[in-house]
Structure 1
Amino acid sequence: MITLPSFDEMYQALLDKNSQYEGVFVVGVKTTGIFCRPTCSARKPKAENVEFFSHTKEALTNGYRACKVCRPMKEYQSAPEWLVPLLKEVEAEPERKWKDYELTQMGFSPSRIRRYFNKTHGITFQAYLRMSRINGAFLKIKEGQTVTQSAFEQGYDSLSGFSETFKNLTGFSPGKQGQIVTINRIHTPLGPMMIGVTDEGLCLLEFTDRKMLETQLDVLKKRMKSELVTGKHPIIDQTEKQLEEYFEGKRKEFSIPLVVPGTEFQQRVWDALNKIPYGVTRSYKQQADVVGDVKAVRAVARANGENRISIIIPCHRIIGSDGSIVGYGGGVHRKQWLLKHEFENQ
């Protein structure tokens, strides 16, 4: 694990634009949601508005987007000449989903790009694009929450005035259709997680670097006829507290109300997952038997993968028939950690 210099030392290096710290850290600016190199020429933020990371991957995972001024996603000196045209295209269209065949048509080798990003930034090119899109969307939602908050605080002369503002922000009228899902990020020993709640309960808990997170957010919005707004909520606080107790080995069961819209089959699979005791594992085949169809192993595995509430709905307790630890959206390393943690704290 890389040990960073002290906060004061890094902050002074940032103020001084000290090039000796290039490659030592990148800095995330909480107020803008971007991360920068130590030598960035942009206006320097206050100390209370920054956090430092040893690697670009950490900044991305914690919800930041690359600065367009200092371009921290380039290698600390300069990107290789062959990659520059693509980086310019990505910068011009940050929301675009680049497919391998599109890269090939442009004359790039997807495998070469993948190797470069893995070596330089510790993530694949597609993972970088995905996290950038998610972080950008999160920032936009956060900006929207500010608008919503100001609507409540400033007040309106008529209900119709507020309703029009609300509809422009969320896409539907208040009280008529849909609902708001309050989302935020929480930190855990296994990395940052995105959490989503309604007044009825928890509906999303995913690691921010999960490949399916974008899809899960879209599915959630459609199934719940909802829009996403960042903010604070008592259920977020409750979940964060119970997760902290879980990771400390002090909690084996959660008492958080859940909101899990899905098909009838998915509901059965998720309900069966919730009944697996702490520290106990089942195979996909055993889980299919519990659900009521021993032949539905693949369908059960698929439903497990579509679970939107990690840890609390414990899909990490499902293993291969031979005891192998496979098939976890948050990453096999996290599944191994969770199972070891539960076995040791039974």
Structure 2
Amino acid sequence: MRDLMDHDRLYAALVARDAAYEGVALVGVTSTGIFCRLTCPARKPRPENCRWFDNAAAARAAGFRPCLRCKPDGPQAEAHPVIAGLTAALAARPGHRWSEADLIDLGHDPSTVRRLFRQHFGQSFLQMARAARLRQGLQTLHKGGRMIDAQLQAGFESASGFREAFRALFGHAPHQMQGDLRADWIDTPLGGMIVIADDHVLHLLEFVDRKALPQGLRRLSALVGGRIGLGRTGLTDLTERALGRFFAGEDGRLDMPLRLFGTPFQARVWQALRDIPAGETRSYSQLAAAIGQPSAVRAVAAANGANRLALVVPCHRVIGSDGSMTGYAGGLWRKERLIALEAGYRAAGNRPARLDAGPQSL
């Protein structure tokens, strides 16, 4: 980012405790070895003792420790006032058809909002708003409502627009959703998740804004012969309750019965991920060693990315060999929050059970 090369501007923002830089930049103080938010109330360092970072992982990788006062290793997205304000507005009006004109009316520059949301969430604010509207329509269909009611509740101006959004997510139109596997939405503190389960096992659990979600849903639909309909099963309710306890800090184990759709190698990697207790992390090389194939680091990384059971198969617990945050399909901001949440489970030794549903080859 160009701003991180502008030492004088960043130092001026640090002295002024400028909230506009929350979630954008952090300062590392070479004289103390500590890194802070620019809004930290602590005594300001001399300019020659400052180094600038765009995320906490980069600051830690450079050898700095987080400040105990401003807690800069907490969620950076939440710290940014623009993001915090707009996510609160979206939560208050999930069915509203948000536009760039709305952003301008709220005093925001649409290009700045787009950049911030893509930086932290991997998608724009308007894309997040569209997903929220689609969820409104899903709820109406789930309750047996008419297509026109779902369309209007979702805020789409035309039936074709609603069907296209639905098809982009699931791979087929709403009226084609029928079968013994049921798809539904679960709300979590980190955003909505699509859950697909039958009466016995969990087939898919993904954050709804994951870029590869539509592809994963279409693949799953093909593997099960199109047997995916809208609705809930008892296992859906079990999963929702388990996620509630997990995010409340009550239980780090997510012990739902699973059905894996992957190769035997992928299943071994996914089981190795399940063997990592909540509150601990591993590198890709450690994961490869755990399955007895230390040279298969790239294949292990690929299997990690192919996981379609977020949180339950905890691919977020894999970090860089230097301790830095590595890519996470659900967004690095989620990974940061999940690892921070699970730190509280470390002493409890919460470890999920072994997978009890055999893998099915692709």
Distance in 1 (CA, whole Å) between partners of 2:214 and 2:92 is 16
CA offset digits 1:198-238 (Å, max 9, x no partner): 22222222223322222222222222333543323221221
Q: Taking structure 1 as reference, are residues 202 and 59 closer, same or farther at Cα in structure 2, changes over 3 Å only?
A: farther
Where does residue 334 of structure 1 map in the other structure?
A: 334
Q: Taking structure 1 as reference, are residues 183 and 264 closer, same or farther at Cα in structure 2, changes over 3 Å only?
A: same
Q: 5 Å matches for 1:301-312?
A: 301-312=301-312
SS in 2 for 1:261: coil
1:287 Cα deviation after fit: 0.8
Distance in 1 (CA, whole Å) between partners of 2:92 and 2:191 is 8
Q: Give yes or no for the alignment of 1:170 onto 2:181.
A: no
Contact 2:201 2:256 (C-alpha < 8 Å) held by counterparts: yes
Percent of pairs with identical residues: 33
1:267 Cα deviation after fit: 1.6
Where does residue 296 of structure 1 map in the other structure?
A: 296
Q: Give yes or no for the alignment of 1:185 onto 2:186.
A: yes
Distance in 1 (CA, whole Å) between partners of 2:303 and 2:122 is 28
**Most deviating of 336-345 and 262-271:** 336-345
Where does residue 59 of structure 2 map in the other structure?
A: none
SS in 1 for 2:195: strand
CA offset digits 1:212-270 (Å, max 9, x no partner): 22222222222233354332322122112112222232213222111221222222211
Q: Taking structure 1 as reference, are residues 117 and 246 closer, same or farther at Cα in structure 2, changes over 3 Å only?
A: closer
Distance in 2 (CA, whole Å) between partners of 1:274 and 1:292 is 16
Where does residue 101 of structure 2 map in the other structure?
A: 74
Distance in 1 (CA, whole Å) between partners of 2:269 and 2:262 is 10
Report 1 or 2 for greater relative contact order, CA contacts < 8 Å, sequence distance ≥ 6: 2
SS in 2 for 1:282: coil
Where does residue 197 of structure 2 map in the other structure?
A: 197
SS in 1 for 2:184: strand
Q: Taking structure 1 as reference, are residues 238 and 146 closer, same or farther at Cα in structure 2, changes over 3 Å only?
A: closer
CA offset digits 1:77-102 (Å, max 9, x no partner): 579xxxxxxxxxxxxxxxxxxxxxxx
CA offset digits 1:28-59 (Å, max 9, x no partner): xxxxxxxxxxxxxxxxxxxxxxxxx9755567
Where does residue 283 of structure 1 map in the other structure?
A: 283
Give the residue type in structure 2 aligned to 1:74.
A
TM-score when normalising by structure 1: 0.56
Q: 5 Å matches for 1:1-346?
A: 64=94, 67=97, 72-76=99-103, 115=112, 117-118=114-115, 127=124, 131=128, 145=142, 169-170=175-176, 179-188=180-189, 190-345=190-345, 346=347
1:274 Cα deviation after fit: 1.1
SS in 2 for 1:252: coil
1:284 Cα deviation after fit: 0.1
SS in 2 for 1:319: coil
Contact 2:128 2:209 (C-alpha < 8 Å) held by counterparts: yes
CA offset digits 1:166-190 (Å, max 9, x no partner): xx94378x6xxxx4333223223x2
Give the residue type in structure 2 aligned to 1:180.
L
SS in 1 for 2:206: strand
Distance in 2 (CA, whole Å) between partners of 1:280 and 1:125 is 25
Q: Taking structure 1 as reference, are residues 252 and 119 closer, same or farther at Cα in structure 2, changes over 3 Å only?
A: closer
Which runs of no fewer than 5 residues in structure 1 stay unpaired? 2-52, 80-111, 150-167
Distance in 2 (CA, whole Å) between partners of 1:124 and 1:314 is 19
**Most deviating of 335-344 and 53-62:** 53-62
SS in 2 for 1:221: helix
Distance in 2 (CA, whole Å) between partners of 1:280 and 1:244 is 21
Distance in 1 (CA, whole Å) between partners of 2:122 and 2:110 is 7
Q: Taking structure 1 as reference, are residues 124 and 281 closer, same or farther at Cα in structure 2, changes over 3 Å only?
A: closer
Distance in 2 (CA, whole Å) between partners of 1:63 and 1:213 is 24
TM-score when normalising by structure 2: 0.54
SS in 1 for 2:236: helix
Q: Taking structure 1 as reference, are residues 145 and 271 closer, same or farther at Cα in structure 2, changes over 3 Å only?
A: same
Q: Taking structure 1 as reference, are residues 234 and 55 closer, same or farther at Cα in structure 2, changes over 3 Å only?
A: farther
SS in 1 for 2:101: coil
Q: Taking structure 1 as reference, are residues 72 and 270 closer, same or farther at Cα in structure 2, changes over 3 Å only?
A: same
